[in-house]
Structure 1
Amino acid sequence: MESWTEGFGKKGGLYRRLRDACAADWQAYTWHPFVHGLSDGTLPLPAFRRYLIQDYLFLIHFARAKALAVFKAESIEAMRDKTEAIRAILAETTMHLRYCESWGIPEAEVRATPESAETVSYTRYVIDRGLAGDILDLEVALAPCTVGYGEVALRILADPNRRAEGNPYQSWIDTYADPGYQAMAKAAAARIDALGESHGGQARFATLSATFAEAARLEARFWQQGLDAAEGHMAAYEKAHG
């Protein structure tokens, strides 16, 4: 197994089985051309700007999904954990606005930007899975984001083509490579394994794997919207200056 996946979930557990069942979609998400650009520092700025703004809007709905997880939680301990997660996400939205501002994107612009189709489709899909199913259905829909970003960071660190010095996106990489985030991602994978055992994951594997794979595909589309925005920006520039 690749070094960047070893810490996520246990051998034979539900998380690794879900990941392996959609290996092609998972690869397309965690090693998307957008991620390549983050790693080697070549990602066009318009692509990153589009991503940053939509990621802020995404976080708002991610917090709502976590709130649903409190309602669906199977124990008081899980309710407390999810409540803390909501606080962390809401705090992250404030930090995200400051981060956007450091890239020249004022808060007013971020808040005034409509959600893209990619943001709407992904966030509502996750919430829909939670509303229609139980806590395991919801956690499986959430995992590709939480655990996937942890893996993306490790894949970047292991990339022989990574730009380690002067990479404009190093602060983003550091955020998800941070031990604190890595611990959270590993805990999310472990929770999938535990819920798989307590909530009949084996019997429901076909449905759960379809959910996990769709969330991975939606993550890849979320990256792609940034690259599409950069292409549109370049086409507009060429038209104006051609």
Structure 2
Amino acid sequence: MTEGYGTTFPRLRDAAGAVWRDYTGHAFVERLREASLPRAAFLGYLVQDYIFLVHFARAWALAVTKAETVDEMRTCAATVDALVNTEIGLHVRTCAEAGLSEADLFETAEHPANLAYTRYVLDAGHSGDFLDLLAALAPCVMGYGEIGARLGQDVADGHPYADWIATYGGKEYQQVCREVGALFDGAVARRLGPAPETTPGWDRLCHRFTTATRLEVGFWDMGLSFAR
């Protein structure tokens, strides 16, 4: 399902263990797949995710400044472009159908779960190096790709969340995942060598990745709370 996402991501995913399964198999995701997710929960999540993506784009822009090669810079810059000009567009279109303008989205107060996650990622970049930042960014990028690819196999005509699923399961987003996977592999090899698991830096990356994954679980929990 995630072939082509590189070799670093699967190893970090395996190290996260049950936390990763809690994220990608969360009740929010499963109810979205089943089309039983209340619209209020989806829209509440989508508004907060718009804010998340603004900060996420800033984190990828920070990665440009942390990069050591022009190729690394190009991939990070392309990801900023995909976030700002493609992924955010899905949120704006869907929320516009519910009567919410982009100004409304931008001015919405951040939920504590959103604050915790986005500031953790940005802190990883400011206080750590390029690998710290990539490890904190990867769960969102790759997790949504994995979820979108899986859910895309079950989408029937008229599914209320077909656009969301098609965005993350589609060719363009899957290509982003492959490019980020290659970026991560190259960055790890450049900085930690051919056997990264044997270096002290590997444990730090596992911790970063797993912590960000836990915060993804909290983000889904937040989404479900909007249905109450």
Q: Does the alignment reach a TM-score above 0.5?
A: yes
How far did 1:149 drift? 0.5
Alignment of 1:129-208 (within 5 A): 129-158=124-153, 162=154, 164-200=156-192, 201-202=196-197, 203=199, 204-208=201-205
Instruction: Identify which of 74, 78, 95 aligns with 1:80.
Output: 74
Code of the residue aligned with 1:47 in structure 2: it is A
Cα distance in 2 between the residues matched to 1:115 and 1:150 = 24
The TM-score with structure 1 as length reference comes to 0.86
Aligned counterpart for 1:102 among listed residues 92, 97, 102? 97
* Unaligned ranges ≥5, structure 2: none
Q: Show the 5 A alignment for 1:1-242.
A: 4-10=1-7, 14-92=8-86, 93-158=88-153, 162=154, 164-200=156-192, 201-202=196-197, 203=199, 204-231=201-228
Distance 1:7 1:103 in 2: 36
Is the CA contact (8 Å cut-off) linking 2:45 and 2:222 kept in structure 1? yes
**Aligned residues of 2:72 and 2:183 also touching (Cα < 8 A):** no
Q: Percent identity?
A: 43
Pick closer, same or farther for the CA change 1:43–1:219 going to 2, 3 Å. same
In terms of Rg, which structure is larger?
Answer: 1
> Is the 2:135–2:209 Cα contact (8 Å) retained in structure 1?
yes
Per the alignment, residue 239 of structure 1 pairs with: none
After TM superposition, give the deviation of residue 154 of structure 1 in Å.
1.6
| C-alpha distance in structure 2 between counterparts of 1:134 and 1:15, whole Å | 17
1:56 deviation in Å? 0.6
Q: Is the 8 A contact 1:40 1:163 kept in 2?
A: no
Amino acid at match of 1:32: H
Q: Name the CA shift for 1:124/1:205 in 2 (closer, same or farther; >3 Å).
A: same
TM-fit CA distance, 1:105: 2.8
SS of 2:152's partner is helix
Cα distance in structure 2, aligned partners of 1:206 and 1:97: 38
- 1 CA distance for matches of 2:102 and 2:67? 34
Quote the Cα distance in structure 2 between the aligned partners of 1:107 and 1:75: 35
Deviation at 1:9, TM superposition (A): 1.8
Q: Is the 8 A contact 2:152 2:166 kept in 1?
A: no
Q: CA RMSD in A?
A: 1.6
Structure 1 residue ranges without an equivalent (≥5): 232-242
Q: Contact 2:75/2:179 (CA < 8 Å) preserved in 1?
A: no
May I ask how many residue pairs the two structures share in their alignment?
222
